[in-house]
Amino acid sequence: MPRLQNTRMNFDYCLTYKYIKFCSSDPHLTNYLEDEFLDEQVKSIKKYTENIVNLRRVGAGLGEYIFDKDVKD
């Protein structure tokens, strides 16, 4: 969970910075932020969230073992 929270916090900071630069009309910086940071942050948040949901579904024991095995492959 801490990793997901950190990723979401970074995403929020990037959005805030993007908004500030958008207000100052700097299209190059806005494009750079979107391409280099925001897209990757969205993908990471989605991946972490899916993993957390799957771990909650499988439960303890054999489910965790199978989940770990699938993630490593």
Q: Which residues make up each annotated binding site for Fe cation?
A: 41
Rounded Cα distance between 60 and 73, Å, is 20
58 CB neighbour count, 10 Å cutoff: 15
Residues annotated in a binding site: 41
Give me the half-sphere count of Cα atoms (radius 13 Å) on the Cβ side of residue 23: 5
